[in-house]
Amino acid sequence: MKLFLDSADTSAIKQYAHIISGVTTNPTLIMKSGRDFREVVNEICSIVDGPISAEATAEDADGMFKEAQELSSWHKNITVKIPMTEEGIKATRLCADAGIKTNVTLIFSAPQALLAAVAGASFVSPFLGRLDDIGEDGLALVREITGIYKNYSFGTEVIAASIRNPVHVVECAKAGAHIATIPPKVMAQLYNHPLTDKGVKAFLTDWENAKK
């Protein structure tokens, strides 16, 4: 499984650059960074050598495709995020035919993931946490999508998105999601266990005593 960072915070991206192989952004994350879209995306591309998702915001297929052409001209690693709408799926097909990589975002059902794969999406992003938020089962959706994709040779990779905790990451790995895109707060949680802290402290104390 590959780990991406779900963030436009370049200091967090630098912190985890040794462990991540891509970055996802969205308009909300760009807004939170308080920086110019192009400037921050280009800086992210200079930190991580892997797929960097930047979102198209037009609502019609031709507009999204034009934006995709522009965004993908900024850097070879830019993957254009396309919202899961009927126009978005048209744009995904246009991008696939033009060799532009896409990440179909805001996926909340298996039929949506199937349509995106058939249209030639490079990635699909099911949003687990947001499904959990409304009392549905986000992990069940990830399992359903990976199960369907295993039957075919779509070439579309599943990015488990809207990750809220380490259990989400582990369960997505068990489900065979290719990638989990993880916010910095959850990334930090992945490292921690109280018994590790306790063990490190005890070993250091004993080492000091052994040297006496």
The contact set with ligand E4P (CB under 6 A) reads: 6, 24, 26, 105, 125, 127, 129-130, 161-162, 181
DSSP string, 103-168: EEEEE-SHHHHHHHHHTT-SEEEEBHHHHHHTTS-HHHHHHHHHHHHHTS---PEEEEBS--SHHH
Please tell me what DSSP assigns to residue 19.
Answer: T
Return the closest-CA partner of residue 46 out of 7, 76, 25, 19: 76
Q: How near is the Cβ of 206 to ligand E4P at its closest, in Å? A: 42
- Nearer Cβ to ligand E4P (130/178): 130
Cα–Cα distances (Å) from 31 to 11, 35, 40, 104, 143, in that order, read: 16, 7, 11, 20, 32
- Nearer Cβ to ligand E4P (127/149): 127
Q: How near is the Cβ of 127 to ligand E4P at its closest, in Å? A: 6
- Nearer Cβ to ligand E4P (50/129): 129
- Nearer Cβ to ligand E4P (61/180): 180
Return the closest-CA partner of residue 43 out of 14, 15, 21: 14
Q: How near is the Cβ of 202 to ligand E4P at its closest, in Å? A: 37
Spot the catalytic one: 32, 66, 76, 81: 81
Place of tokens 């998105």: 161
- Nearer Cβ to ligand E4P (79/146): 79
Q: What does the alpha-carbon distance between residue 100 and residue 197 come to, in Å, rounded to a whole number?
A: 45
Q: How near is the Cβ of 19 to ligand E4P at its closest, in Å? A: 18
138 close to 158: Cβ distance less than 8 angstroms = no
| Secondary element (H or E) of residue 82 | strand 78-83
198 a catalytic residue: no
> Which residues contact residue 155 at a Cβ distance below 8 angstroms, ignoring those fewer than 6 apart?
122
Q: How near is the Cβ of 79 to ligand E4P at its closest, in Å? A: 10
Q: Which residues are catalytic?
A: 81
